[in-house]
Amino acid sequence: SDLYEAATVDRAGIVKRFQHITVPWLIQPILIIMILATMNGLRVFDLVYVLTGGGPGDATRVVTFTAWKKAFDALDFGLANTYAYILTFMTLIIGLIYIRMMYQRGEIEQ
């Protein structure tokens, strides 16, 4: 609130206050939420399998469900394993980005 009061004293309008005070404070939490939501989205299999079975058509097909279909319907275990490795690698990269952001914010110490 001190920043908002100082900006008001300096005659900053509501748009300038939002642009220069609110947005910089919200960028990091929004990025963290996006990273965690992406990681959870990459790992969703059970909901798709139980609720829709990948349908109608391929509307709700995700990478994990595609890997499962390749392994157990088409018996193509090599391609399913490739999907699993790619998914693991993507989750690892996103997790490392998250840890780096937490380290930069000072929430994680060496």
Overall size of the chain counted in residues: 110
What digits encode the pLDDT tens for the residues 56-84? 888 888 888 989 999 999 999 999 999 99
Residue with tokens 């642009």: 19
Domain ranges of the chain: 27-105
Mean pLDDT of 14-28: 88
As separate numbers, helices (DSSP H) first and strands (DSSP E) second, the chain gives 6, 0
Residue 108 is given by DSSP the state: S
How far does Cα 22 stand from its chain's mean position?
A: 22
106 backbone dihedrals φ, ψ, rounded to 5°: 90, 10
Query: Please, are residues 100 and 92 in contact by the beta-carbon 8 Å criterion?
Result: no
Mean pLDDT of 7-28: 88
State the pLDDT at residue 71: 94
